[in-house]
């Protein structure tokens, strides 16, 4: 029987739940006129799945969308090549005159390509000259120029915080802000997993993107929605799970959407392999124990990259979440002076290893927390 949970890809369709209000709000914003949105929140909270659903909604409404994953483009040359290629293929009119590209993209060379089926395509690569602010601007302006004032489009930048490394001294951000602020037919969505960095890019008054987009925090879904989702997913595949067991599953991984999918997947597999139609809390515990050992090598390698103070703080939080790191808490776990703890906390939060949830600092990955508790 097919497993009704999915954590290998974006959760879409029946595997996507909650977020109805924010999804409709974003759809309305982008259909009604120009708007830019930065969607931030901790890892595994479902940002990418939400945007994938939103893109589907917009495409059905006749608004073409372009999505670019910045983390896979660690240089300006790679960025402009990939961006120009994706934008051209998605937004160029069917009867677009190829010779017009020369006026739009002076800094890039068109290149004919063949895919695996032998179908011809077009991509772009930089000329021999280095990519400067002028060349970057013309590439960033391409969506607006291709639309020629007609219709609308939405561009999604995933892992957008990585643009900070493409040019020194916020150079990329300055050029991009200057370019896109004049785009009347194109809206932008910015999201990323290093959400503390991303949020600062748009809320720090010293940064180029300050107040350039509506900032929306994606928090955990309501617990009741998560429990109902778990019950419904098991039912959709012909199995029953008690409400108590569903609540246990959601609580076990702190109501984090990605881990609900992962633990749900493994719990279903346990029950299905045993040819049982009903699922219990014991199945949840067995699946959790199995998953906790899956990434042990990865967690051990991660620990090798951390400082002593960062390791000690992670272990402390795995055992006891903290509202704040008061003297008694620091003494209990031998964390040292306040300045040392604050420095470790800042770095761990920036890297997404810890986060603030329900007013307390916690280890972001519940399975990593379990690893830390049993080491």
pLDDT, tens digit, 9 for 90 and up, residues 45-57: 889 889 999 999 9
Tokens of 354: 């810890």
Which residue segments constitute the domains of the chain, with CATH numbers given?
Answer: 19-217 (3.40.50.300), 223-294 (1.10.8.60), 296-374 (1.10.10.10)
Tokens of 160: 């957008």
C-beta of residue 130 within 8 angstroms of C-beta of residue 108: no
Determine the pLDDT at residue 121: 63
- Inter-residue long-range contacts of 127-131, CB under 8 Å, 24+ positions, other chains counted: 131/76, 131/77, 131/80, 131/107
Cβ neighbours of residue 166 closer than 8 Å, sequence gap 6 or more: 74, 75, 76, 79, 172
Handedness of CA 127, 128, 129, 133 (dihedral sign): positive
The continuous run of DSSP H or E covering 137 comes out as helix 133-140
Residues of the chain with pLDDT under 50: none
Residue 86 φ/ψ, nearest 5 degrees:
-65, -45
The continuous run of DSSP H or E covering 134 comes out as helix 133-140
Question: Could you give the CA distance from residue 250 to residue 161 in angstroms, rounded to a whole number?
Answer: 30
Determine the pLDDT at residue 234: 96
Determine the pLDDT at residue 100: 60
Handedness of CA 65, 222, 11, 352 (dihedral sign): positive
Determine the pLDDT at residue 337: 96
């Amino acid at each position: 029987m097919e497993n009704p949970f999915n954590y290998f890809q974006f959760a879409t369709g029946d595997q996507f739940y909650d977020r109805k209000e924010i999804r409709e709000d974003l759809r309305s914003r982008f259909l009604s006129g120009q708007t830019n949105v930065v969607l931030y929140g901790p890892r595994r909270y479902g940002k990418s799945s939400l945007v994938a659903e939103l893109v589907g909604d917009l495409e059905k409404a006749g608004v073409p969308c372009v999505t670019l994953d910045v983390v896979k483009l660690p240089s300006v040359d790679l960025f402009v090549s990939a961006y120009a290629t994706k934008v051209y293929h998605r937004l160029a009119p069917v009867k677009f005159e190829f010779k017009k590209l020369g006026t739009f993209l002076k800094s890039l060379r068109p290149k004919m390509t063949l895919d695996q089926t032998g179908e011809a395509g077009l991509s772009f690569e930089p000329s021999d000259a280095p990519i400067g602010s002028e060349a970057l601007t013309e590439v960033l302006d391409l969506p607006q120029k291709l639309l020629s004032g007609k219709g609308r489009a939405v561009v999604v930048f995933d892992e957008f915080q990585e643009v900070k490394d493409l040019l020194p001294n916020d150079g990329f951000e300055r050029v991009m802000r200057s370019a896109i602020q004049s785009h009347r037919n194109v809206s932008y969505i910015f999201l990323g997993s290093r959400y503390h960095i991303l949020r600062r890019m748009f809320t720090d008054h010293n940064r180029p993107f300050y107040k350039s987009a509506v900032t929306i925090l994606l928090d955990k879904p309501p617990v009741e929605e998560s429990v109902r989702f778990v019950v419904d997913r098991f039912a959709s595949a012909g199995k029953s799970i008690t409400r108590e067991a569903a609540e246990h599953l959601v609580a076990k991984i702190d109501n984090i959407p990605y881990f609900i999918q992962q633990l749900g997947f493994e719990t279903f597999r346990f029950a299905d392999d045993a040819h049982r139609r009903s699922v219990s809390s014991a199945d949840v515990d067995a699946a959790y124990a199995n998953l906790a050992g899956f990434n042990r090598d990865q967690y051990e390698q991660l620990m090798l990259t951390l400082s002593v103070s960062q390791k000690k703080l992670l272990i402390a939080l795995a055992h006891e979440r903290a509202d704040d790191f008061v003297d008694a808490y620091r003494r209990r776990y031998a964390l040292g002076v306040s300045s040392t703890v604050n420095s470790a906390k800042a770095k761990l939060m920036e890297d997404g290893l810890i986060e603030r949830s329900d007013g307390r600092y916690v280890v972001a990955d519940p399975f990593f927390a379990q690893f830390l508790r049993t080491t």
